[in-house]
Structure 1
């Protein structure tokens, strides 16, 4: 089953940094996250269905942890993280004017209609990517929980279809993207309101219209939304993925042909990890 895997590189770097033990080279340089990133990426590349793959990174200045020291250590491994993917033969997109999220959403949208693909898998744990899911064609894969969401699963989890996810997150909130939400709106209330009216602009501005809703505290919810409607719309717009990120590669450019031996050798020296060359990593043919 020809499948394109789209990876959130910034998230993967953060995940490996906070989920793996620290490890230093002989010069004291921190490489623990990158060594772990290499292992987890190899695991993904061994997926039987994977035929095409790409990874997107945010600009390094956009990557910030809570502690300045952690931010510094993450920044120090940023270029190495991109080198890991490149050495493994993965197409790397480094974004500046657009976010990595926009790159992945753009790629999913662009290649959705390509008949040579059966599925597109977006690898991320961010709920906002649920807006990109389309039937069984584009799915969202949480690698941490090993959960795959198709369109039916999105509806079951959030109570709304994929196209309403930005509205749902605008009401409920999304801490990962700095969206505080609208006070009083939990997952159930947001789903009930959006199933009734759909787009934010269509939600009733007359408190009496909310009386028909089967949701607790409907009067308070109505007054809060009416008062903060423009704020909710702004949060919604903030959460919509852009579909026009500049990606020059064709689908064929994203075909995975194996790792690059020379780059692996260089990476092995940089990370001071000779075991890299001893792993069973498929290599691309010379000249590819």
Structure 2
């Protein structure tokens, strides 16, 4: 059985400095929260502890500040952007159902020491998650220190390898060498190597004082003159193992790993826009939560359209192998199709009774052209292509979840149905990247009906959010009509004079051949003009031109660099012309 005790402040500060410029769409800085949450998830998933706790500094001076007014005094005042993130981190820890320990007058390190002492005496192995070397003094056969970013687990041997002294002498080592991160003075003039050497020779600090007469020269003088500083430093770095329990008598059962409060956690992560972390947390919705039915005979088809014609909305998704239709929440129908046309390839489900596509779309025509029924889909332009092939007019009353998602978060990278489901419904759905031909009909039913299920369930949420942000008019009056216009433009394409463009391409080829000969002649050899590495060799090594900009792979030969070089040399000028014509030809 193992407990992981996390030094909260250590990792919040580390995340704040490691991750730059992470803000929400509202401009709220959340880099420290994101980094800490990611680390916490990694601890839970990778190491699977039996128990867990987070210890944090109380935002007030400690007994160490009373002992030494300069303790940590060199540190800059905590930035407001970081200070504002501490309550958010605590909310996330709480949502994970993890206990937080903090106590006025003490540091997180003291609480870690106290907690370690208590639980190891109950036969529990301890892993302290921190990057603070103070914690090395706690290491023994039952206690280890994990530096999570570097993935180093410190036991006794690793501590010796790191500092040159064992855990039992870490406080003596820091008393001599000091600790600049906490402004612990130590003895001026004694560094880490000298401290380790003295401890190796004499043992602890007290024995070093006893043997000062044996320590010759300047070193002995330093120890004599600054012994008070060393004693104070040892007191400052020694962790307290019996702090008063901040919440009363601690019961080990309180620290047992529990299921997180998913609703609370997902709400916080959505608020912070941590969608990549949400994907790791949400669970797949069970297919049985919604009623997905296959319809592939006349009676079933008739039943579907009787339901649809009396509905006020319909979510739909047309795939190459079938169509999913959903007139209400939690009830969707999948119709396997069986027609192949020149314009649209519809693949048969093997050994399954299917319905001719022309028959289904014939039933759908009056429904899709009925403006009283709202049509909900995702990626409307792709769906329009199929509808028009079967003579169905583009629906007037339509809601595209993809466009709605984009309007709500234009800076977001992903607006897939899977992302919408996670962000707005808190549900993970299957994504299928393979060949539809390989799908069994039951698999196709679940995959495509889940899509329509997400569409119809997210519609009201997206609609309400658009309304609250005053974006509904933009969506209805501009974006959706524009989608239809763009589809028409893409479908119509543009006419080109093929003969003229063939002639133009030949002219470009001729010009490129001429320039190529001039380039090779000027360079004095043939080389791959399109290779930045070979071009750099010619320009900078062979011709001796002065490099302008260095990149990872050598010296840059980009347009900006060649333009500068062209002011004093002919070859870069010709290469720029070659690139321009080459780009025109490829266009």
Q: What is the TM-score when the length of structure 2 is the normalising length?
A: 0.43
**Match of 2:169?**
164
Secondary structure (helix, strand or coil) at the match of 2:267 reads: helix
Residue 133 (structure 2) aligns with: 127
Aligned to 1:214: none
User: Residues 121-148 of structure 1, C-alpha deviation per residue, up to 9 Å, x if partnerless?
Assistant: 011111111000012x100111121111
**Runs of at least 5 residues in structure 1 that lack an aligned partner in the other structure:** 211-217, 283-288
**Is 25-34 or 233-242 further displaced after alignment?**
25-34
C-alpha separation in 1, matches of 2:282 and 2:3: 19
Aligned length: 270
Which of 151, 176, 182 is 1:177 aligned to? 182
Q: 2:244 aligns with which of 246, 254, 264?
A: 246
Counterpart-to-counterpart distance in 2, 1:67 and 1:153? 32
Distance 1:155 1:275, change over 3 A: closer
- Equivalent residue runs for 1:270-285 within 5 Å: 270-274=271-275, 276-280=277-281
Partner of 2:144: 139
Q: Which residue of 1 aligns with 2:89?
A: 81
TM-score by length of 1: 0.85
Q: 1:189 to 1:64 in 2, by over 3 A?
A: closer
**Gap change, CA 1:226 and 1:146, over 3 Å in 2:** same
State which drifts further: 31-40 or 11-20.
31-40
* Counterpart-to-counterpart distance in 1, 2:129 and 2:254: 19
Flag structure 2 segments of 5+ consecutive residues without an equivalent: 62-71, 284-587
Residues in 1 aligned to 2:281 and 2:109: alpha-carbon distance in whole angstroms: 31
Q: Which runs of 4+ in 1 moved over 3 A?
A: 60-68, 204-208, 272-278
Corresponding residue for 1:35? 34
Deviations 1:149-206 (A, max 9, x none): 1112222322222121111012112112211331232223212222333332222456
Tell me how far apart the structure 1 counterparts of residues 97 and 17 of structure 2 sit (CA, whole Å). Answer: 25
Residue 167 of structure 1 contacts residue 200 of structure 1 at CA under 8 Å; is this kept in 2? yes
Shift of residue 61 of structure 1? Answer: 5.2
Distance in 2, Cα, partners of 1:190 & 1:72: 38
Contact persistence 2:12–2:35 (CA under 8 A): no
Superposed, 1:1-288 pairs within 5 Å as 2-60=1-59, 71-115=79-123, 117=124, 119-135=125-141, 137-204=142-209, 207-210=212-215, 218-247=216-245, 248-274=249-275, 276-280=277-281
1:81-112 C-alpha deviation (Å, 9 max, x unpaired): 11111112221113322111111111111111
Distance 1:229 1:255, change over 3 A: same
The equivalent of 1:285 in structure 2 is: none
If asked which structure has higher relative contact order (CA below 8 Å, sep 6+), I would say 1
Aligned-pair CA distance for 1:26: 4.1
Look up the match of 2:351: none
